[in-house]
A and B are shown apart, each in its own frame.
Chain A
Amino acid sequence: MIRAGLITLALSLGFVSASAQDATPPMNVDDFMAIDGSVDNAKGVVQNPASLMNVDDFMAIDGSVDNAKNVVDYAVPSLGNDVPIAAAPIQETCITIMSGFPDNGHEPRYQFFKLTQALTADVDSTLRASLDFFGDSFVTPQTPVTEVIENIANPVFRQAAPEITIGNMGYLIDFALDCETYLSGQIESLEAYDSTLTDVEFNTIIAEDALFMRQILSDSLFRVGAQDHEIFGPSVHAYAGSLVTTRDKIEFSSFETELESLEALYLDDLDGRLARSNDVINSEMDREALANSLEITEDLNQDAKRKSKENMLRTLSRILGGR
């Protein structure tokens, strides 16, 4: 199953890499703000982070572009009614990084958002600190996410420079945790736009890819000896253990999906066959046998009654008549 995930990831990466080269440059922060039209640039307050979308996606969702919505609204919101959910520097960083995600369609975009989100599973503050401690890479918010993922998946880095792998994973995990609000907002918006994105099989593939990348991280940490570190060691071991549990869950989920298909196939087939078999037997049943038997019973009963009455009268007559 994991091998399948590898292939999927490789194909995805290949596809994204190729498409990323052809794609239009990522949008800048202002572009994002312009879409929503409800961001206070000055204060960095996002009124509706869930509505943060790529321009193309936004247009595609609606099907018809609402020009009115495309108007940048720099109106200052009433601070009394809105609670800031992120500080301006984080917001800017998040939006900058998100602009580096693939923008060649809502599906790959969703796939990469979900993948990134899934990388944070079982990461606690100690492990996060260990990534900072053991990681070594130079990634900026402007680095396209596809490049970061390619660095992680790069077998040469994994073997020869695991600290680069760790650094890149640390960068992605930091982003996913710091920008969780924006990330989940984007994911929810895309799911609302296209409900097929919630397909279990599709999401299992994403989860498998995430597991593959987490496995790379765990292996890399072991390669640099993090498991023996006095402070970080236990956390690194716990992370490796959690991968087993996650793998079990993913594989079981896949097994259940296949099993449910089998069940549906066989149960429907059986039910249909048995119903048809019952119909055939019912149609062949001879109701006359029962009806005749009941009729004969009635005749015999009447006959018995008549004979009994005759006997009775004969007996009475003999008694009374003395014959």
Chain B
Amino acid sequence: MNTHYLKIALLASALLSSACASTATGKRQSSLMTSSATQQLKTQAPDGSLLAVVRYPAVVDSAAKDKFRQAYMASPIGARVSASATGSVEAENIVDSSIVKSNYFALSLYKELAARLPEHSVLLSPHEIKLGPDGKLTSVPITQAESLPSVVTVDFATYSYPDPKKMMNKNQLTFGDLISPMVTVRTDHRAAVPTHGVLLSSQPLTEAAVGNGYNTAQAALTEMQSGRFSTDVPELDFVSYISKGTRKSTRTASLSLNAPENVVQVTPMEKIRMDGATIASLGKGTKGVADPLKPVFSKGFADRIIDIINDTASEKTAMAKRATAISSYDPSLAALTFVGSDNSDYQARYNYVNRLLDAEKKYLSVQSLRLFDGVHNGEMGAQVRDMLKAEYAILEKRRALAKKQNQATALAFLGAIASGVAIGSQSSKEETQCDRYGRCRTVQRPNYGQQILTDVLVKASIYAGTQAFAYKGQSKAIGNNYLTSIVPALEAQTNVQVSLIDSNETITAIRFDDLKDKLKTLYVEKQRALDTIATRCAYNQDGAASGTWMGVCEGGLANGSGVGVLKNANGSAVEYYGHAQNGLAHGSGYMVVHEAAGSYALEGNFTSGKADGVMRVSKAGNGDQLRTYSAGQDNGSASSSSAVNSPFNTIRTGA
């Protein structure tokens, strides 16, 4: 009997603990937190380039609000959203709150990166979610932060499972001291060809992020085919995910500071629990000094980003966007900057225009700092912190109620089992009764004490069940009440956010245009003639369709340094950066090939359009390999000590 009760007690205890686990608890820290020492920057940004841009959803255009909410609820992470929840005010509020929270917590990451990377090398890029020309959901940068090249861009958003009835279950949640971040880290697709630029991603976003990268690469190709440099900025990967944009699979690997090349590092979705005491201490007076996200997420993620920058920073990450930025000052120079030149006229011009890009970086950096200041240290930040405190208090109540509910459930369970066991095994006892003549018989004698116990237990179990039900209803109501009543405040936050960004942007745009005009004037005044200029002419590949060359031309054909693109009828396409002769790749070059099976890159020497010599080959799933080519044919691996005739080996500026 004692053993039996012990088992029941253990079972109840297990139930209690498992019930607690499904009631708004989270991991102590993100798996992005590295166990190794703090990562230090060991490289420097390519000319004119930033190191990181933090992108996040800041506002939703009013015309896109309904579609955004629908898309969000139609693409839940972790479980299906019940039909009753879809479209409820509370569910919509959960969706809306994810934008406000993304706004606030993205700043934690920005702050961490800005503190650890050189001045003016990290920018904020808030995005507006809106409807595109085709009526599909998309996002566009509100500021010009993404007009400059950056080694990496980091997408950050917070996520909450959009079903208020299940928000306290195991689903992802950003509420009070809980946060579920969704992130991706990408670079230019030319620097990570097989993954279309994606380097790290939260698991649910991976295919959408790679698809987004693929679309951006295709758009860039189309632009260059038309003789223009691409100005396309990829939409937020989170938006690609909920809008069910293009999906592309690729090779993935788990998180590692020594992750191989040409794979996407994948991090699982997590519900992380920030320090409750820190959340509770948040107040207007703290001005965001206390950052509860830093010790559980931002610091570790910043380490990952710095590690990725150390591994990724190269000319390939910056060359295309830098050329785009330079083309606004000097179109005839832009295409020559891909692989540079040792010509003194070129070097002089390049130094000047590079300095102008630095001026732009500084200007946009001031804007980011003020945006951070306005949101984090301003009234909005204070209100978000108040909201977090209130949410935390509510969460704590719910946790307490959930605990009571669990205890009540456990009591009901115990009661039911105990009473069942008692009735089943000990409902009566056999007793031998003897008369005065010595005649004895066995009789069934009711166990009154046990019967009384059974009654009490049954009633207690009913009572406990009722109580459990009541607590359940009560705790649900608390979450819903919050979501219902906080709507006006959420609206206010969003409006303030819009005002803040609009105001910043209006001022910045006007002044930025003004500054750019002044910079252009200064540049034109100071420049001497360039002997060799970039023009547009034909670029070919053996047996392939005719493409476009932007660079040095002669007789209508590519002849010198520049960039060439062509699209074949079968959908495959080629990008080439380097030297050409008679319209064909010739000399040192970097060729990116897009095929149905995937994209890959060849870097080395080309002869008459074909790989010829030791090439660095980047293909999905494998680290970069050195292989020997002859007339375009792969003849096997090359010695690891072999020299690659890279177009990026030459000194760019000659300085």
Which chain A residue lies CB-closest to B503? A277
From B344, B383, B394, B507, contact of A274 by CB (8 A): B507
- Nearest-CB residue, chain B, relative to A277: B503
Instruction: Specify the chain B residue showing the minimal Cβ separation from A254.
Output: B526
Contact with A along B499-526 (1 / 0, CB 8 A): 1100110011001001100110010001
Question: Are the C-beta atoms of A304 and B374 separated by less than 8 Å?
Answer: no
**10 A–B contacts, CB within 8 A, in A order:** A251-B526, A263-B359, A273-B511, A275-B373, A277-B507, A290-B386, A293-B487, A297-B484, A305-B474, A308-B471
Q: What residues of chain B lie closer than 8 Å to A300, measured between beta carbons?
A: 477, 481, 484-485
A164-172, A208-216, A227-235, A314-322: which lies at the B interface? A314-322
Q: Determine how close the nearest CB of chain B comes to the CB of A294; give it in whole angstroms.
A: 5
User: Within the complex, what minimum Cβ distance (angstroms) separates A252 from chain B?
Assistant: 6
Which chain B positions have C-beta within 8 A of A252? 348, 351-352, 355
Q: Are B351 and A267 in contact (CB under 8 A)?
A: no
CB within 8 A of A270: which of B363, B390, B474, B487? B363
Since A259-B519, A308-B477 are in contact, a sample of 6 more A-B pairs with Cβ atoms closer than 8 Å, ordered by chain A residue number, is A262-B359, A275-B373, A293-B486, A293-B489, A297-B390, A305-B474
Number of A-B contacts (CB under 8 A): 162
Contacts A255-B352, A297-B482; A278 near B522 (Cβ below 8 A): no
The answer, yes or no, to whether A281 is at the interface (CB within 8 Å) is yes
B222 at the interface (CB under 8 A from A): no
Determine the residue in chain B with the shortest Cβ distance to A291: B386
Q: Identify A289's interface contact among B462, B492, B507, B511, CB under 8 A.
A: B492
Is B453 at the interface (CB under 8 A from chain A)? no
B 365-405 binary contact with A (CB < 8 Å = 1; else 0): 01100110110001110010011001000100100000000
**Which residues from B are CB-within-8-Å of A304?**
473-474, 477-478, 481
Total count of chain A residues near the partner, CB < 8 A: 48
Cα–Cα, bound, A315→B344 (Å): 91
Instruction: Tell me if A48 is interfacial: C-beta within 8 Å of chain B.
Output: no
Assembly CA distance A320 to B465 (angstroms): 13
Cross-chain contact A294 with B386 (CB below 8 angstroms)? yes
With CB as the reference atom, state the residue of chain A lying closest to B496: A285
Determine whether the beta carbon of B462 is less than 8 Å from that of A319: yes
A301 in the interface, Cβ–Cβ < 8 Å?
yes
Cα A274 to Cα B504 with chains together (Å): 6
Residues of chain B with a CB closer than 8 A to A280's CB = 503
Across the interface, do B496 and A281 meet the contact criterion of CB distance under 8 Å? Answer: yes
CA distance A281 to B503 in the complex (A): 9
| A309-B470 contact in complex given A285-B380, A301-B394, C-beta closer than 8 Å | yes
A15 on interface, CB distance cutoff 8 Å: no
Residues 451-503 (chain B) with a chain A CB within 8 angstroms? 459, 462-463, 466-467, 469-471, 473-474, 477-478, 481-482, 484-489, 492, 496, 499-500, 503
Q: How far, in whole Å, are A267 and B519 apart by their CA atoms in the complex? A: 13
Query: A255 touching B526 by the CB < 8 A rule?
Result: yes
Which residues of chain B come closer than 8 Å to A124, judged between CB atoms? none
Q: Which 9 A-B pairs have the closest CB atoms?
A: A304-B477, A300-B481, A312-B470, A274-B370, A278-B374, A296-B485, A308-B474, A282-B379, A285-B379
A266 on the B face (CB < 8 A): yes
Whole-angstrom CA separation of A244 from B345 in the bound complex: 10
Residues of A close to B526: CB separation below 8 A:
251, 254-255
Give the interface of A toward B (CB within 8 A). 244-245, 248, 251-252, 254-256, 258-259, 262-263, 266-267, 269-271, 273-275, 277-278, 280-283, 285-287, 289-290, 292-294, 296-297, 300-301, 304-305, 308-309, 311-312, 315-316, 319-320
Q: Once the chains bind, are A259 and B359 in contact (CB under 8 Å)?
A: yes
**Among the listed A244, A254, A267, A301, which residue makes an inter-chain contact with B477, where contact means beta carbons less than 8 Å apart?**
A301
Interface size of B by CB at 8 A reads 59
Interface majority SS (helix, strand, loop, mixed), chain A: helix
Given A267-B362, A278-B370, A262:B518 Cβ within 8 A? yes
A270 touches B485 (CB 8 A): no
The one of A244, A270, A316 that contacts B507, using a Cβ cutoff of 8 Å: A270
**Which B residue's beta carbon lies closest to that of A283?**
B379
B-chain residues with CB within 8 Å of residue A244 when the two chains form the complex:
344
Q: Which one of A256, A270, A274, A319 lies within 8 Å of B466 (CB-CB)?
A: A319
Which residues of chain A are within 8 angstroms of B474 by Cβ–Cβ distance? Answer: 304-305, 308
Chain B residues near A287 (CB, 8 Å)?
379, 383
Give every chain B residue within 8 A of A316 (Cβ-Cβ).
Answer: 462-463, 466
How many Å from the CB of B616 to the closest CB on chain A? Answer: 34
Task: Pick the residue among A262, A263, A290, A296 that contacts B387 (CB under 8 A).
Answer: A290
Give Cα A81 to B487, complex, Å: 87
Please measure, in the bound complex, the distance between the C-alpha atom of A175 and the C-alpha atom of B587, giving whole angstroms.
51
* Contact of B390 with A294 in the complex, beta carbons under 8 Å: yes
Choice from A254, A262, A282, A297 contacting B485 with Cβ under 8 Å:
A297
Query: When the two chains form their complex, are residues B496 and A259 in contact, meaning their CB atoms are under 8 A apart?
Result: no
CA distance A308 to B484 in the complex (A): 19
Selected from B478, B492, B522, the residue in CB contact (under 8 A) with A259 is B522
Chain A residues in 8 Å Cβ range of B366: 267, 270-271, 274
Chain A minimum-CB-distance residue to B384: A290
Distance in angstroms from B326 CB to nearest chain A CB is 16
Q: How far is the CA of A255 from the CA of B351 in the complex (A)?
A: 11
Which residues from A are CB-within-8-Å of B344?
244-245, 248
A289 CA to B371 CA, complexed, in Å: 23
In the complex, which residue of chain B has the Cβ closest to the Cβ of A263?
A: B359
Contact yes or no, B489 A266, CB < 8 A: no
| B residues less than 8 Å from A308 (CB atoms) | 470-471, 473-474, 477
Q: B355 contacts which of A248, A255, A283 (Cβ < 8 Å)? A: A255
